[in-house]
Amino acid sequence: MWSVRDPHESNASAGILELGDFSIRALGAEDFGLVRALQPSTPADIFELPESDHAFRAFIADLGAKPWSLPFVCLRAAVPIGVCFMSVAQLKNLNAYLVAVFSDPADAAVPLALYIRHAFWSFPLHRLYAHVPAFAAAIAHAEALARVGFKHEGVLAAHVPSHDGPQDAIVLGLLREEFNVWCAQNQPALAL
Partner 1 sequence: MSQTQSVAGNWVTLEPLSEDNRLEASRIDALRQRTPNLGGAPGRRDFARSFGPAMLIRANAGGAAVGLVENGHMIGYPGVAVVLIFVDPSLARPGIAMEAFAMYVARMFEAGARLVHLEVLAFNRPVLRMLARIGVAEQARLRDQVYAAGRFWDVLVFAFDADQYRQIWTRYARMLPGGDRGPAAIGARRKP
**Interface positions with partner 1 (CB under 8 A):** 88, 90, 92-95, 97, 126-127, 129, 131, 151, 153-161, 166, 169, 171, 173, 175
User: Of the two residues 19 and 139, which places its CB atom closer to partner 1 in the complex?
Assistant: 139
For residues 61 and 192, what is the distance between their CA atoms, to the nearest angstrom? 30
Q: Minimum Å distance from CB 166 to partner 1?
A: 7
User: Of the two residues 112 and 169, which places its CB atom closer to partner 1 in the complex?
Assistant: 169
Closest CA to 35 of 67, 70, 72: 72
For residues 135 and 27, what is the distance between their CA atoms, to the nearest angstrom? 28
Q: Minimum Å distance from CB 142 to partner 1?
A: 14
Q: Minimum Å distance from CB 156 to partner 1?
A: 6
User: Of the two residues 16 and 89, which places its CB atom closer to partner 1 in the complex?
Assistant: 89
Q: What residues form DSSP beta bridges with 23?
A: 18, 75
User: Of the two residues 28 and 166, which places its CB atom closer to partner 1 in the complex?
Assistant: 166
Other CB atoms within 10 A of residue 143 CB: 15
DSSP string, 74-137: EEETTEEEEEEEEEEEETTTTEEEEEEEESSGGG-HHHHHHHHHHHHHHS---EEEEEEE-SHH
Q: Minimum Å distance from CB 37 to partner 1?
A: 24
User: Of the two residues 53 and 168, which places its CB atom closer to partner 1 in the complex?
Assistant: 168
Closest CA to 160 of 43, 69, 60, 73: 43
Q: Minimum Å distance from CB 158 to partner 1?
A: 6
